[in-house]
Amino acid sequence: MLSYALRRIVIVVITLLAASVVVFAVLEIVPGDPARLMLGINATDDAVAALRQQMGLDQPLVLRYFAWIGGMLSGDFGRSYTYSVPVIDLIRERLVVSLPLALMALALSTAIAIPVGVFSAARRGTAADTGVMAATQLGIAIPNFWFAILLVYVFAIALRLVPAGGFPGWEAGIGKALAALILPAIALALPQAAILARVTRSALLDVLGEDYIRTARAKGLPARLVLRRHALRNALIPVLTILGLQFAFLLAGTIIIENVFYLPGLGRLGFQAITQRDLIVVESVVVLLVATVVIVNFLVDLAYAWADPRLRRR
Partner 1 sequence: MAGELIATEHEDWRHFVGKALRNRSFMAGALITVLVVAVALVSFVWTPYDVTKLIIADRLQAPSGAHWFGTDHFGRDILSMIMVGSRNSIAVALIAVGIGIAIGVPLGTLAAAKRGALDEILMRASDIVFAFPALLSAVMITAIFGPGAVNAVIAIGIFNIPVFARVARGGALALWPREFVLAARASGKRAGLITVQHILPNIANLLVVQGTIQFSLGILAEAGLSYVGLGTQPPAPSWGRMLFEAQTMMAIAPHMAIVPGVAIIVTVLGLNLLGDGLRDVLDPRLRRQR
Of positions 124, 162, 177, 236, contacts partner 1 by CB under 8 A = 124
Nearest one of 246, 250, 281 to 98, comparing CA atoms: 250
Residues 126-145 that bind partner 1 (CB under 8 A): 133, 137-138, 140-143, 145
Count of residues that interact with partner 1, criterion CB under 8 A: 52
Of positions 25, 85, 150, 223, contacts partner 1 by CB under 8 A = 150
Site string for partner 1, 259-288 (x = CB under 8 A): xx------x--xx--xx------x--xx--
Of positions 99, 176, 206, 304, contacts partner 1 by CB under 8 A = 206
DSSP characters over 123-168? TTTSHHHHHHHHHHHHHHHS-HHHHHHHHIIIIIIIS--S-SS---
According to DSSP, residue 79 is labeled B
Q: Shortest distance, CB of residue 260 to partner 1, whole angstroms?
A: 7
Question: CA angle 273-175-177, nearest 5°?
Answer: 5
Site string for partner 1, 157-186 (x = CB under 8 A): x-----------------------------
Give the residue with the Cβ less far from partner 1, 30 or 172: 30
Taking CB atoms within 8 Å and a gap of at least 24, the contacts of 163-172 are 164/261, 165/260, 165/261, 165/262, 165/263, 166/261, 166/262, 166/263, 167/97, 167/262, 167/263, 167/264, 167/265, 170/96
Q: Does 221 bind partner 1 (CB under 8 A)?
A: no
Cα 169 to Cα 181: distance, rounded to the nearest angstrom: 11
Cα 276 to Cα 118: distance, rounded to the nearest angstrom: 47
Nearest one of 145, 114, 113, 106 to 247, comparing CA atoms: 106
Q: Shortest distance, CB of residue 294 to partner 1, whole angstroms?
A: 5
Task: Tell the burial category of 3 from Cβ atoms under 10 Å away from its Cβ (0-12, 13-18, 19+).
Answer: exposed
Site string for partner 1, 74-113 (x = CB under 8 A): ----------------------------------------
Instruction: Map residue 265 onto helix, strand or coil.
Output: coil
Q: Could you tell me which stretch among 21-29, 35-43, 180-188, 222-230 binds partner 1 (CB under 8 A)?
A: 21-29
Cα 123 to Cα 235: distance, rounded to the nearest angstrom: 16
Expressed in angstroms, the distance from the first to the final Cα of the chain is 12
Q: Does 302 bind partner 1 (CB under 8 A)?
A: no
Q: Could you tell me which stretch among 7-15, 82-90, 227-235, 302-310 binds partner 1 (CB under 8 A)?
A: 7-15
Q: Does 55 bind partner 1 (CB under 8 A)?
A: no
Residues found near partner 1 in the complex (CB under 8 A):
11, 14-15, 18-19, 22, 26-27, 29-30, 124, 133, 137-138, 140-143, 145-146, 149-150, 152-153, 157, 198, 201-202, 205-206, 248-249, 251-253, 255-256, 259-260, 267, 270-271, 274-275, 282, 285-286, 289-290, 293-294, 297
